[in-house]
Amino acid sequence: MVASQETLDKLEDIGLNMYERKIYSALLGRGVSTAGELSEMTNVPRSRAYDVLESLAEKGFVVIKSSKPMEYVSIPPEQAIENIKKQHEKDLEEKLDKLEDFKSSEAVEELEGLYDQGVELVDPAEMSGSLKGNHQIHQHMGTMFQDAEKSIKIMTSEKGLNDIYENHSDLLKEAKEEGVNVRVLAPVTDENQEAFQSLSDVAEIRHVGDLEEKLEEVNESPDGRFAIIDDEALTMAMTHDEVHATQDTAFWSKSDHMADNMLSPMFHMLWEHAERPEGPSGPEME
């Protein structure tokens, strides 16, 4: 007997291929079985059944008995999950160690030199492009924050402040410790109090919710998301918060003209008219 399709799909999520899923679920129903018997039960080719069972044994789902014919014993599901979890943790630790070793190697210095050489040949205005998907956007912003030497200016939305907190609080902390001036403009509400309280330790945050009352030339508070780094580079969202994370789109550029002469003056104007949230819940919380 083979498990339901829904259960087989769940086994796929944890890394078992189609043949492994079928044979493991069939073996669970028998406890002990041979490759030939499992092949007949699951319609997995007999020539493949041995390789599949060997793979399941390596992953911690099956134990191989020393018998003739060779028999296989199923590992209880909870124990099998712990086995593959430990294997993934070990693999991840090994990969992280390799990345750390590579990061501190002369090879990275050589690659950095090639990058610097290439950048010198490119007009900064040409260093621009689009970012698609929330993950790619935050990945690029993280790189920008790591490169900051003087200032980080962020304007974001209510939800955006939570995103900054969840994705970049450690990087902003490191930037502050390196002497970078970090400032954030955002609506501060009950919905992002945790983010506000935490980020206040690494950045000066000002509330933009009531700017329409202070600026006669605007009818409503500004609503946008962008980050300016050292007045030389920027990332600017092109979509609203409501879009799906995979459809979130942003524009990035290393144009100091756009960063210093266009967005920075607007940021400073809004900053001067914004207010610093007061109290544990910020201004006028609802």
pLDDT at 282: 45
44-71 burial code (b ≥16 CB/10 A, e <16): beeeebeebbebbeebbbbeeeeeeeee
Residues 222 and 159 in one domain: yes
Residues 41 and 107 in one domain: no
pLDDT at 285: 42
- Domain presence at residue 252: yes
**Both ends of the chain: CA-CA distance in Å?**
57
pLDDT tens readout for residues 63-104: 998 888 889 999 999 999 999 999 999 999 999 999 999 988
For 39, the domain range is: 5-77
Residues 41 and 145 in one domain: no
Residues 131 and 11 in one domain: no
pTM flag (> 0.75): no
- Domain presence at residue 282: no
Residues 106 and 185 in one domain: no
How many domains does the chain divide into? 3
Handedness of CA 6, 7, 8, 10 (dihedral sign): positive
pLDDT tens readout for residues 217-261: 555 556 679 999 999 889 989 888 888 888 889 988 888 888 888
Range of lowest pLDDT (9-23, 109-123, 203-217, 225-239): 203-217
Residues 175 and 261 in one domain: yes
**Under a CB-based contact definition with an 8 Å cutoff, are residues 241 and 163 in contact?**
no
pLDDT beyond 70 at 153:
yes
Q: What is the CATH number of the domain that holds 211?
A: 3.30.870.10
Residues 268 and 127 in one domain: yes
Structure tokens that stand for 147 in this block: 């490169």
Q: What is the mean pLDDT of residues 32-42?
A: 93
Residues 138 and 173 in one domain: yes
Domain final residue, candidates 48, 77, 106: 77
Residues 73 and 139 in one domain: no
Structure tokens that stand for 213 in this block: 């009352």
**Under a CB-based contact definition with an 8 Å cutoff, are residues 2 and 26 in contact?**
yes
**Under a CB-based contact definition with an 8 Å cutoff, are residues 21 and 8 in contact?**
yes
- Domain presence at residue 256: yes
pLDDT at 150: 95
Residues 151 and 181 in one domain: yes
Residues 144 and 179 in one domain: yes
Distances in Å between the alpha carbon of 25 and those of 60, 74, 75? Answer: 14, 9, 11
